[in-house]
Structure 1
């Protein structure tokens, strides 16, 4: 039987219509939370929320400060409290062929979608998380791109900024009884990889644990950091990456073949 660590909790998740966000919404719902499933796409939000008892869908552009304020107010009004926020919304624009051809528009789009959006959500939610009686938690969804070069200049810079924001906000929020942590996923099998099974099969061989991640792997880590099981953890970066940042699997393979 699934643990009920979030009975009575109100949870807001951005970018929750599919992929990691949807899996996270399901995980919180399974553990007793009321979940506000926010997404840019109304259909995705509604589909995800419909499968989770007590969940509500809401169209919200996390890049829009007014929309974020309205979403937080809606969650508090409908659930009676806001105890957990998960910042999962992001933007990732393909790099230009040459760095000097990267334009301001794509750079700003990724920073807005992956970093500034999280800042806006945290800013709106923090007073309510403080009022949650020690249950308040923010979990940001970062990326291994924040740590080493996997491409995508703007996205990677934004995720590195998100890791830094996590640490500075953790220090600010700790005296207010709110914990702030970040999960950094590696390659996750989401809809963005549809039709690219050969690429995923190749990448599975690069990861030390022999597979790419599933959305549920990240959802489990997020739920842990949001729960009382992690009550003495704040300002930390939890890498959920199949070991790719710790072990150079291709290099080790080359050595063993030599």
Structure 2
């Protein structure tokens, strides 16, 4: 059975991804502020590590913890994210630093720390955002950080391909989660701009991650897969 590490999986998209993978993987997750008790109640075999991914030391130690628990590591899903808002008129260095540390530095450091443990056939799936290409007016540094994730995904795919390691990303559009649901009128407004007439769901994102991590996608690396129900086609 393969082992997957999903960061930031106590709630939201990360929880959906971890729950989906737990059907046929050993799963380890990280959490920082939200206790994953409800996820663990449903999936007691999941290993949960409380980690501040902005701390490079904690990130570097994480792959070893997973391997000590399950013996190997086959899939990393870099889901944890910081979505602090800012704009050109209200620049705040701390906001920019936090967004980039969690969204860019942490995944890069985690993958670097895991490389000695990843075998040919391993996969990395980064969670990007449609804001990388359609930046949000009140999320300058968040949007920029996700654009950096997209670029790093492609660079890592080129670098790690000769090692037999695939690197891809999923870019969700607007998604309602149990913890963060938009008002009905806002949801309907966004849905009208999609080809499918609805928002993508957490399960849609989880299914895309599962595909990119699977042997069915063995010939796919370096792509950014939009999962947004055809937003603004």
Structure 2: segments with no counterpart, 5+ residues: none
Question: 1:201: how far off?
Answer: 2.3
> Which of these residues, 52, 59, 63, is aligned with residue 54 of structure 2?
63
What residue number does 1:73 align with? 64
> Which of these residues, 147, 156, 164, is aligned with residue 133 of structure 2?
147
What residue number does 2:25 align with? 33
Q: Name the SS of the counterpart of 1:100 in structure 2.
A: coil
What residue number does 2:108 align with? 119
Structure label with greater radius of gyration:
1
Q: Name the SS of the counterpart of 2:22 in structure 1.
A: helix
Q: Give the number of the structure whose residues are more often helix, by fraction.
A: 1
TM, length-normalised to structure 1: 0.85
Residue 62 of structure 1 contacts residue 120 of structure 1 at CA under 8 Å; is this kept in 2? no
Distance 1:223 1:63, change over 3 A: same
CA distance in 2, matches of 1:192, 1:160: 25
Give the length in aligned residue pairs.
232
What residue number does 1:51 align with? 42
Residues 11-22 of structure 1 mapped to structure 2, 5 A cutoff:
11-22=4-15
Task: State the Cα RMSD in Å.
Answer: 1.5
What residue number does 1:229 align with? 216
> Is residue 158 from structure 1 mapped to residue 145 from structure 2 by the alignment?
yes
Q: Name the SS of the counterpart of 2:9 in structure 1.
A: coil
Residues 107-256 of structure 1 mapped to structure 2, 5 A cutoff:
107-129=96-118, 131=119, 134-151=120-137, 152-191=139-178, 193-194=180-181, 196-245=183-232, 247=233
CA distance in 1, matches of 2:134, 2:104: 18
TM, length-normalised to structure 2: 0.94
Question: 1:195: how far off?
Answer: 6.0
